[in-house]
Amino acid sequence: MTIFWIFFALIHLLSIGFALFAVYRLYGYIHAYRMPESKYTLLFRFIRLRYLATAYLILTAVFFVWSSISLLVT
Amino acid sequence: MNSFFSANGTPQHRDNTNRHFMGQQATEEVTLFLRKHWVTIFPQMIVLLGTIFLTPPLFLLLRDLPLLVFFLLAASALVFHRMFVHLFNHYLRIIILTNYRLIELEKTLILRDTKCVIDLTKIQDIEKRQTGLLKNILNYGELILHLSSSSNTITFYHVPKPDRFFREINRVKREYILRRQEQKHQAVRDDTAPSVAAVPASEQVGVY
């Protein structure tokens, strides 16, 4: 079970690390390209890149918390 | 969008240097920009939603089998990040049309950062292709640019509302050519050689 927990921690460390790295790269892009967005350019006319990045960070955190709780309960 | 010329036909002197993107010229205006049609990321969105909604029940179902739970965890994390990166890449790949040039940014989050700049005067012909049921229902298609400098063509795939982009390129190109001709005629009238030097340095493009 100990090895399992080590792998579990490793997966989540990699997951959170990658998410932070991805958002850091996105921030660089948003800073460099300040395009005049409109309903014609946004995904489904309303999804901004910032919304997507926020959802990504929140879902990564939820994934970590939820899987930890599930494993602890079982 | 802002026009390059004011109502009385005189150029506006607003400094747009690096305003919307790095390398934007002082008198360069972004006419429009676009991303690919959402149909290109539709499969990734389905997979992402499937991962988000199917992983928790599977996790609970397999909780007595630690090895399978571990593999499920690793696989779902991998798919989750991969699909989000696909969605981010959709936002990073853009085509910018300005009053001087067309800029294509083929950028991805990590692996690719390619830029292609085409001067509007180098575009000989533009072709719009929208064949097939899906393309006509969802209103997307291909734009093929035939360049005058060589026999090469540049194709933009999955362009949303291709009619709009087609019309805008034609309009901006016509305005740009007329403006250059006017500047050359002005140079001739002023007894100056009609060369590239007649174009103000601030309006010369080519350096990204």
Q: What is the pLDDT of residue A48?
A: 86
Q: What's the mean pLDDT in B120-124?
A: 87
- When mean pLDDT is compared across B9-13, B141-145, B168-172, B174-178, the lowest value belongs to B9-13
Q: What is the 3-state secondary structure (H, E, C) of chain B?
A: CCCCECCCCCECCCCCCCCCCCCCCCCCCEEEEEECCHHHHHHHHHHHHHHHHHHHHHHHHCCCCHHHHHHHHHHHHHHHHHHHHHHHHHHHCEEEEECCEEEEEEECCCCCEEEEEEEHHHEEEEEEECCCHHHHHHCEEEEEEEECCCCCEEEEEEEECHHHHHHHHHHHHHHHHHHHHHHHHHHHHCCCCCCHHHCCHHHCCCCC
Share of chain B above pLDDT 70, in %: 84
Residue pLDDT, tens place only, A16-69: 999 999 999 998 888 888 877 777 777 888 888 889 999 999 999 998 888 888
Residue among A35, A63, A74 whose CB faces B63 most closely: A74
- Residue that the structure tokens 């400094």 belong to: B15
Q: Do B88 and A52 touch (CB under 8 A)?
A: yes
B107 touches chain A (CB under 8 A): yes
Q: Do B20 and A63 touch (CB under 8 A)?
A: no
Q: Do A7 and B70 touch (CB under 8 A)?
A: yes
Q: What is the pLDDT of residue B192?
A: 60
B35 touches chain A (CB under 8 A): yes
Reply yes or no on whether the pLDDT at B208 is more than 60: no
**Chain B residues within an 8 Å CB radius of A52:** 84, 87-88, 91
Q: Give the integer Cα–Cα distance in Å for B4 and B31.
A: 9
Q: Do A43 and B91 touch (CB under 8 A)?
A: yes
Residue pLDDT, tens place only, B124-170: 889 999 999 999 999 999 999 988 876 688 899 999 999 999 999 99
B63 touches chain A (CB under 8 A): yes
Residue pLDDT, tens place only, B19-58: 777 878 778 888 888 899 999 999 999 999 998 888 888 8
Reply yes or no on whether the pLDDT at B13 is more than 70: no
Q: What is the pLDDT of residue B87?
A: 92
Reply yes or no on whether the pLDDT at B108 is more than 60: yes
**ipTM of the shown complex:** 0.89
Q: What is the pLDDT of residue B12?
A: 53
Reply yes or no on whether the pLDDT at B1 is more than 50: no
- Shortest distance between the Cα of A72 and any Cα of chain B, in A, equals 11
Q: What is the pLDDT of residue B134?
A: 92
